[in-house]
């Protein structure tokens, strides 16, 4: 991460040194006067000011990437230059270029530099929407269905990069979604059952409060198991439920088909602390998601911690195991107890 920031800084300094002096006074706001109006610049050059303002790129300023723009733009007739991503993102680019994916898509095909967010600020559904732009979900469901049991469920519950990148250290990210059909106002169109509750819907429920207060009722910045259970069993939120997605904590760009992902126990086995830790992702006004830590082990709660998230083998409940063992042991009472008395009294039957 430190190396990455160093590259960003070096790139920024290099870009700043070559900026034409006449344009140095241009601020982001000057550009956005026109570029936030579709009627003025057209849909292709439209920038959402709220989303752009949230990006790391906005801190560098428009001219850092579009260096040929002058304060006479667009009357000067000079086509704005576009920076090359690898100037700043050198390591990431090198990693990406080594993947087969690099021959098929450039950075901009997946990432909008004017709305780019950090990994933790993007929902799993949004991640998959990027992939779905080229890899049609129906075709992918059929292709995975050839070998993967319940392929549709896997595609719904996993960001593609959980399997198709070398990312490690996964966590279960919980999103608020709808119980049953999503309302028409739901912004997410990632497929049946996948629609996430949007900021406006949740804010309407929260009223004056921050939407995090829907779950984190004591406002301590941690969603405890008790708070999750309260949310999941509350009649006030009966139209909502929590959807969990197994998401990489740190994303890599070495997109590929990894041999170890054919083995179901890569995910479906207990023991990984990272897999059993979770965070709650809540939509924000600017389109990003805010991650709230969740009490460790909440996904292992027997019933109501995360009632609609269960990974076979990985999130089984110890309490249920014990109840099951007691039931099985009950079944042994007759063979063992009766069998012992039967053996002790065998002479009665032989006679």
Partner 1 sequence: MNGETPKIKRVYLQPTPVRIWHWLNAFGILALGASGVQIRFPEFVSLFGSYKSAIMLHNTAGILVAVSFSFWFFYYTLIVHKMARLYVPNRDDLENGLARQAGFYFFRYFLGEPNPHHPSPDNKFNPMQKSAYMLIMFVLVPLVSLTGILLMNVAPLRDMVVLIGGLKFLVALHFLLACALFAFLFTHVYLATLGRTPLAYLKPMWTGWEEEMEEH
For residue 280, the cross-strand partners are 174, 292
Interface residue with partner 1 among 56, 74, 263, 285 (CB under 8 A) is 263
Interface residue with partner 1 among 10, 72, 104, 150 (CB under 8 A) is 150
Interface residue with partner 1 among 38, 139, 312, 318 (CB under 8 A) is 312
**Residue number with CB closer to partner 1 (3 or 341):** 341
Tell whether residue 345 is a contact of partner 1 (CB under 8 A): yes
CB of 129 to partner 1, least distance (A): 18
**Residue number with CB closer to partner 1 (202 or 300):** 300
Q: DSSP character for 324? A: H
Q: Binding string to partner 1 for residues 271 to 300, with x set by CB under 8 A, is what?
A: x-----------------------------
**Residue number with CB closer to partner 1 (187 or 270):** 270
Tell whether residue 340 is a contact of partner 1 (CB under 8 A): no
* Pairwise CA distance, residues 299 & 23, whole Å: 53
Tell whether residue 334 is a contact of partner 1 (CB under 8 A): yes
Chain residues 84-103 in contact with partner 1, contact rule CB under 8 A? none
What backbone torsions phi and psi does residue 160 show, to the nearest 5 degrees? Answer: -55, -35
Tell whether residue 235 is a contact of partner 1 (CB under 8 A): no
Per-residue tokens: 221: 């910045």
CB of 249 to partner 1, least distance (A): 22
Return contacts of 311-314, CB within 8 angstroms, 24+ apart. Answer: 311/246, 311/267, 311/268, 311/275, 312/268, 313/265, 313/268, 313/269, 313/270, 314/267, 314/268, 314/269, 314/270, 314/272, 314/275, 314/276
**Total interface residues for partner 1 by CB under 8 A:** 51
Helices 124-132 and 137-145: crossing angle in degrees, nearest 10, is 100
CA proximity to 251, closest of 160, 337, 315: 160
Tell whether residue 313 is a contact of partner 1 (CB under 8 A): yes
**Residue number with CB closer to partner 1 (103 or 328):** 328
Interface residue with partner 1 among 56, 264, 274, 318 (CB under 8 A) is 264
- CB–CB of 337/294 below 8 Å? no
Beta carbons within 8 Å of 4's beta carbon, 6+ residues apart: 89, 91, 92
CA quadruple 220, 226, 231, 235: dihedral, nearest 10: -130
Interface residue with partner 1 among 6, 97, 265, 296 (CB under 8 A) is 265
Find where tokens 């009722």 sit.
Answer: 217
Chain residues 168-207 in contact with partner 1, contact rule CB under 8 A? 179-181, 192-193
Tell whether residue 324 is a contact of partner 1 (CB under 8 A): yes
* Pairwise CA distance, residues 263 & 260, whole Å: 6
Tell whether residue 164 is a contact of partner 1 (CB under 8 A): no
- CB–CB of 187/198 below 8 Å? yes
Tell whether residue 317 is a contact of partner 1 (CB under 8 A): yes
Tell whether residue 146 is a contact of partner 1 (CB under 8 A): no
* Pairwise CA distance, residues 173 & 243, whole Å: 8
Interface residue with partner 1 among 2, 77, 149, 221 (CB under 8 A) is 149
* Pairwise CA distance, residues 206 & 210, whole Å: 6
**Residue number with CB closer to partner 1 (42 or 335):** 335
Tell whether residue 156 is a contact of partner 1 (CB under 8 A): yes
CB of 299 to partner 1, least distance (A): 9
Taking the CB of residue 198, how many other CB atoms lie within 10 A of it? 18
> Applying CB under 8 A, which residues contact partner 1?
147, 149-150, 152-153, 156, 179-181, 192-193, 241, 263-265, 268-271, 302-304, 306-310, 312-313, 316-317, 320, 323-325, 327-332, 334-335, 338-339, 341-342, 345, 348-349, 351
């Amino acid at each position: 991460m430190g190396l990455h920031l160093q590259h960003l800084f070096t790139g920024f300094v290099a870009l700043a040194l070559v900026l034409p002096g006449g344009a140095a006074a241009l601020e982001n706001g000057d550009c956005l006067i026109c570029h936030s109006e579709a009627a003025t610049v057209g849909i292709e050059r439209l920038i959402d000011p709220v989303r752009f303002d949230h990006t790391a790129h906005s801190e560098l300023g428009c001219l850092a990437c579009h260096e040929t723009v002058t304060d006479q733009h667009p009357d000067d007739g000079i086509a704005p230059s576009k920076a090359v991503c690898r100037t700043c993102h050198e390591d990431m680019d090198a990693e990406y270029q080594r993947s087969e994916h690099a021959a098929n898509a450039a950075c901009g095909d997946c990432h909008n530099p004017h709305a780019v967010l950090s990994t933790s600020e993007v929902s799993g559904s949004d991640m998959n929407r990027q992939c779905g732009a080229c890899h049609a979900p129906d075709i992918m469901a059929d292709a995975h269905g050839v070998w993967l049991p319940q392929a549709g469920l896997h595609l719904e519950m996993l960001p593609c990069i959980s399997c198709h990148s070398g990312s490690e250290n996964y966590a279960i990210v919980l999103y608020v979604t709808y119980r049953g059909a999503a309302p028409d106002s739901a912004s997410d169109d990632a497929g049946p059952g996948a629609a996430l509750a949007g900021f406006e819907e949740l804010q309407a429920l929260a009223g004056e409060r921050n939407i995090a207060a829907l779950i984190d009722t004591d406002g301590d910045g941690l969603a405890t198991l008790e708070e999750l259970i309260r949310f999941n069993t509350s009649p006030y939120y009966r139209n909502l439920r929590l959807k969990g997605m197994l998401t990489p904590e740190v994303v890599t760009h070495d997109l590929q088909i990894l041999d170890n992902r054919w083995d179901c126990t890569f995910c479906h086995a207990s023991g990984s602390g990272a897999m059993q830790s979770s965070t709650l992702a809540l939509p924000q006004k600017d389109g990003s998601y805010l991650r709230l830590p969740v009490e460790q082990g909440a996904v292992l709660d027997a019933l109501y911690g995360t009632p609609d998230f269960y990974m076979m083998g990985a999130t089984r409940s110890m309490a249920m195991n014990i109840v099951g063992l007691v039931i099985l042991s009950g079944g042994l009472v007759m063979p063992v107890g009766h069998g012992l008395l039967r053996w002790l009294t065998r002479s009665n039957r032989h006679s």
